[in-house]
Amino acid sequence: MALKNDTEVRYGTPAEFHGVKFQVPHATLEKSSYKRADEGEKQEPKSPPMSPICSPPASPSTYQRIAQSYGYGKARSGLEQQHGAPYEVRHSTHQQDGPSSGNYGAKSALTCSTPNRSLSVEREQQDSSSQYSDDPWRITEEQRDYYINQFRSLQPDLNAFISGSVAKNFFTKSKLPIPELSHIWELSDVDCDGALTLPEFCAAFHLVVARKNGYQLPETLPETLLPEYLQAACLKPVRDCALFDSYSEPLPSSQQTRDFSRAEKSSAEEVPDNSALLQDGKKDDKQAVKVSTTLKTIPKEFQHLTVKAAAQEPNAHRARPRSRSYSSTSIEDAMKKGEEPPTPPPRPQKSHSRASSLDLNKIFQQNTQAVRSGWLPPPPPALPPRPSVSQTEQPSEVELHPQMNRPPSQAEENSSAKKEVVLAQPPSKPARRKLRTEAQGLETPELSPTINVTSSLPAVKPHLPVQKQSSKQKRAIQTAIRKNKEANAVLARLNSELQQQLKEVHKERIALETQLEQLRPVTVL
């Protein structure tokens, strides 16, 4: 109990999520949870998981920064302990699956998982949650949506391949060492064709995420990451991806402003929520329970969800609305942090810009919270109203920029264009500041929907920067103004230089033409 209270205290203050303190309880928790989890968690033979599972706590300090996902993965592993009988059932199925895991035996995996689903409703519910939470190699819905969006950013056609070089560049951004990336590729490219299909890409991405979170890479591909397994699962959320497209595309740009740990924490909340909803009997790993109960800032409304009989439907259902806010943030920041190598120090900017983006949306937070509380019924319709809401609110908020008083419809029209512009902006520092300034409404209010959307995430921790928003907002706007002026000056100078060159070229051309004319009459005659 003491441990439970301890971790409760530790998890209770979200501000600590960013601090190193979080990693310490995580490390201790992981050890205890892993020792229990390794029995049935991994699909592989039992002996290898012993060492991999125990190693993450000793992972290098580079992983400490992103140890938020420790909570995510660990909570998922820890929640496994909460299942009583179903856990044992899964334990046996896992053991069954162990020998077959090395053979890419998807069929055996699927048949082993189907007996779970054929159990009673309660069993199925528990199994669905356990399927989500006990296995770090299982891809959750929001993760899958995120992966699919990333796939789409690389390759618009979901049925086509991502070539090796494209995938290499993409995964290199994750800053994992090349041998590990090579191994991840080996594991995930099942047909060894040098290209990744969507399920292969999801598996590879998931392995990258797991590795960044400190999990040792398995020797063979876990069955939950097999392409056949993922193919069946991938088809389901694809239809929701259309909804997420408009949502998540602008998010990558504004994700630069996100704090990674906060995103991880939010994703960590979701999975405990799943099991917390379904499980009453908590077992040994109380810390994971505490993760679920105390980390909960957003998804209180999800506790009211009734778990349906279908194994993954409830989780998919719950995850879908939540993935609106989380899909971009769950593990995206891991990649985003890596995707900013060309920029000079991104992190200070991130904090600054996050505050600025939050500043603008302080007003929206209550709104979005209210929206999210009533989020459950129609997730899709919730999306359009929010931009309009932000549109109406933003002009009133930003008196500094009267040019923002445009009709919301036009703003919404431009929002899609702006989102593309946002995407197309190279990840350079002035460009990002421009984005921020745009976001702040210097140029357009259209980006406010993007920030509004991401503000759902700050709503996770509303108490973080609320107090300093007004001053930070003004400061941010002023710096944005300054930056824009500088950019304008530079561009004007460039323009004048180019005009000079143009004049000179014109003179030369005129001279040449006169020469030509002088010569021509001679020959004509």
Partner 1 sequence: MAVCIAVIAKENYPLYIRSVPTENELKFHYTVHTSLDVVDEKISAMGKALVDQRELYLGLLYPTEDYKVYGYVTNSKVKFVMVVDSSNTALRDNEIRSMFRKLHNSYTDIMCNPFYNPGDRIHSRAFDTMVNSMMMQVC
- Report the interface residues with partner 1, using CB under 8 A: 164-165, 167-168, 171, 178-179, 181-183, 185-186, 189, 192-194, 219
**Could you tell me the smallest distance in angstroms from the CB atom of residue 147 to partner 1?**
18
**Minimum CB distance to partner 1, residue 212 (Å):** 16
Where are the strands (E) in 61-201, listed by range?
162-163, 195-196
Q: Quick one: how far is CA 366 from the chain centroid? A: 23
* Cα separation, 522 vs 129, whole angstroms: 93
With contact defined as beta carbons under 8 Å apart, do 194 and 163 qualify? yes
How many Å apart are CA 3 and CA 57, to the nearest integer?
18
Cα separation values, 349 from 14, 67, 466, Å: 21, 21, 18
> Shortest approach of partner 1 to residue 411 CB, angstroms?
42
Residue whose CB is less far from partner 1, 170 or 260: 170
The DSSP line for 349-361 is HHHHHHHHHHHHT
CB 188 within 8 A of CB 221: yes
What gap in Å lies between CA 474 and CA 72, rounded to an integer? 35
Which is closer to partner 1, CB of 107 or CB of 183?
183
CB distance 39 to 91 below 8 Å: yes
Whose Cβ is closer to partner 1: residue 151's or residue 171's?
171
Strand partners, 196: 162
Pick 196 or 477: Cβ nearer partner 1: 196
- CA distance between the termini of the chain: 110
In angstroms, the Cα distances linking 521 to 83, 94, 509, 510, 524 are: 99, 94, 19, 17, 5
Nearer to partner 1, 67 or 181 (CB): 181
Least distance between partner 1 and beta carbon 196 (Å): 10
Shortest spacing between CB 180 and partner 1, in angstroms: 9
Q: How far apart are CA 288 and CA 28, in angstroms?
A: 12
Angle formed by the axes of helices 260-278 and 141-154, to 10°? 140
Contact status, residue 388 vs residue 495, Cβ threshold 8 Å:
no
**Would you say 66 or 221 has its CB closer to partner 1?**
221
Write out the two tokens for 447. 């980006």
Taking the complex as a whole, the smallest distance from the CB of residue 29 to partner 1 amounts, in Å, to 30
CB 47, min distance to partner 1, A: 16
> For partner 1, which is the closer residue by CB, 115 or 164?
164
Closer to partner 1 by Cβ: residue 221 or 382? 221
Q: Which is nearer to partner 1, 219 or 508 (CB)?
A: 219
Integer angstrom CA distances of residue 334 from 109, 174, 255? 30, 7, 10
CB of 167 vs partner 1, minimal distance in Å: 6
Give me the least distance between CB of 200 and partner 1, in Å please: 12
Query: Which sign, positive or negative, has the C-alpha torsion 59, 63, 68, 73?
Result: negative
